[in-house]
Structure formats: structure tokens, C-alpha cells
Structure 1
């Protein structure tokens, strides 16, 4: 009799969570776990850890926690409690520390200790960049699901389609204006 209650309870919880949120979510916990696994060692060690985590059910538990709890919290509150954190990125021109606080990113260069802040305003659907000294500039504003407003070299805003062709046209516009300014 007890064996029958567990599958029914799991089915009810999953159905309730799917019906109440209707949100895919960012799966921050699962993505952090996968990112950690990719940095453990070489590709053979990473693959062994990957298989071990599937056998032990670490990935299954993290995915279930994301689906049932964390993505629901993210849907209702707008913030995922696991999404914030710190990551070191090795770029071709140096190392950077990227800190996420759930509302934006602080990027610090380990080379010259310069700091840049990227923030997202949910009300305006705008990403902006702030540099030390208090100056802030709008980078991109989402118009709809397929278009954004980006700054043009002349100070105006250009509507750009989110596609390869749209980004190529924007790059060409910026390049030609920069070449004309020389």
C-alpha cells in the first residue's frame, strides 16, 4: 500500500509545479553543477565524474530541485537563489572575475583591476553598463522577442533584428560609421 502513495505523490507534485509556474526557468543549480564538472580535469576525468554523478543520482536530484523548487521561486520572485555567485574566466587578454547578484554582473579585470557593472532593469527591459565615476550607459533595450534597440555611432538608437542578418547589418553600420569618422 505504501508503494502506491509515492508515485502518486510525485506525480501530483510534478503536475502542480508545472501547472502553477508555466516557466522553464534558468536551471541555475544544474548548470552550476555541469560547469563545475567541466573544470574538474581533462575530458576523461570530466566524463568519469559525469557518469558517476548520473549513477549516484546527483544530476537527477539537482534537476528535480531546479524543476520543483528553484525555478518556481524564480518565476514568482524574479530571482533564482542559486543564480548569484562568482566565476573566474580566462580570456585571451587576461583573467576576469564575474560576480552575479541576481540583478546584474560585476566584472573585474585581474590585469588592471578595472571594474565594469552590467545591470538589467526589468521594467524597461534594458541592459546598461556603469563604469567607475558614476557614468552609466544604456547598452540594449528589448523591444519584443525578436528586436532590440542598440546605440548607433551618431548617438541615436537603432532597432536591430535578433538574427544573423540583423546583427551583421548592425555591425556593418557601426564599422562604416567608424571608418567615416577617421
Structure 2
């Protein structure tokens, strides 16, 4: 009797660590669950099919997530199956699709125009790529300052604080032409 209780306790303890969801996003299981609940437009058919395959598919998905995919996510920072795309409302009230990657961000406008914000680890800089043209936006200097690139191509070094942000803002505003009409 003690061996059975000890075995049950060991299994429950192991399950509490595996299924605690603190080690990963469980992307495979979540994709399966979303598919299973939306495979047809009839919720009863979804439920019946779910009951028939749940006992086999769900444990396999959890096992693969727990031991393989979440381990990859823990060590690399990326789950191969995790959805790295989200929709964000811009300041103009329109929705943009933002996709993250190791290199940076891909932003797709409602018009279909795609803009990339790319990080270069060698120079510790961020650039914008649009219509095949790449322009450096800023880079982190070894001394802790930031080198910002203005629209006219001029580069200025600023501190990495509110004063530096204010300097860049003032520089940008000085290059903007305002026209007043009556």
C-alpha cells in the first residue's frame, strides 16, 4: 500500500511541474485546442469529434510541448510553433499586423505596405527597411550614448535619458516645415 501511495505522490508531483505552464507557452496544445473547437461550424460535431480523439491527441500534444517545444523555447527564447504575430491599432485608428522575429519586426499596414525594423547585433543599431531602401535610425554607442540619424541624414549623439529624447525631439521639430495659409 505504501508503494502505491508513494508512486501516486511521485506522479502527482511530476505532473505539477510539467503542467504548471511556467516553462513555456504550450503552443502546440493551444493550436490543437483552437482547431478542435473550430473544426466545423457545428459545436455538437466539434464536441463529438473532440471526445473521440481527445484521449489520444491531447496527451501527445502536451508531451511534445512539455519535453520538446517548451525546452526549445526556454533555451532559445522562441517556440517554433508560437504565434509571433499580433494586430495593433495605430495612432491613426487603423490596424497594423506586427510580426516579431530574431532580426526585429515586420509591420504590415492596412494598405498592404510592409516596413521592417531590423536590429544589427554587430553594430548594435536599428534600421528601417521600406521598399528595398534601408536607413539606419539609431545605434547604441559603446560609451552609453545614442547616435540618432535625422531625416536629412545628419547624425547626432545624445544621452540615453529624457534630456537626450528632448534633444532629438527638438532637432526633429527644427527640420519640419510648417506652412500657414489664410
Which TM-score applies when normalising by structure 1?
0.53
Number of residue-to-residue matches in the alignment: 118
Aligned pair in 2 of structure 1 residues 154, 161: CA closer, same or farther (>3 Å)? same
| 3-state secondary structure, aligned to 1:113 | coil
Q: Which residues of 2 match residues 95-134 of structure 1 at below 5 A? A: 95-110=95-110, 112-132=111-131, 134=132
CA contact 1:142–1:148 (8 Å) conserved in 2: yes
Identify which of 135, 138, 142 aligns with 2:136. 138
Aligned pair in 2 of structure 1 residues 180, 89: CA closer, same or farther (>3 Å)? closer
Aligned pair in 2 of structure 1 residues 84, 151: CA closer, same or farther (>3 Å)? farther
Q: Which residues of 2 match residues 1-182 of structure 1 at below 5 A? A: 70-71=73-74, 73-74=75-76, 80-82=77-79, 85-93=84-92, 94-110=94-110, 112-132=111-131, 134-144=132-142, 146-179=144-177
| 3-state secondary structure, aligned to 2:176 | helix
CA contact 2:72–2:78 (8 Å) conserved in 1: no
Gaps of 5+ in 1: 7-26, 33-61, 75-79
Cα offset, 1:92, TM superposition: 3.2
Cα offset, 1:149, TM superposition: 0.7
CA contact 1:147–1:162 (8 Å) conserved in 2: yes
| 3-state secondary structure, aligned to 1:172 | helix
Aligned pair in 2 of structure 1 residues 91, 146: CA closer, same or farther (>3 Å)? same
Structure index of larger Rg: 2
Gaps of 5+ in 2: 1-5, 11-21, 28-65
| 3-state secondary structure, aligned to 1:162 | coil
Which TM-score applies when normalising by structure 2?
0.53
RMSD, aligned CA: 3.6
| 3-state secondary structure, aligned to 1:129 | strand
Cα offset, 1:150, TM superposition: 0.6
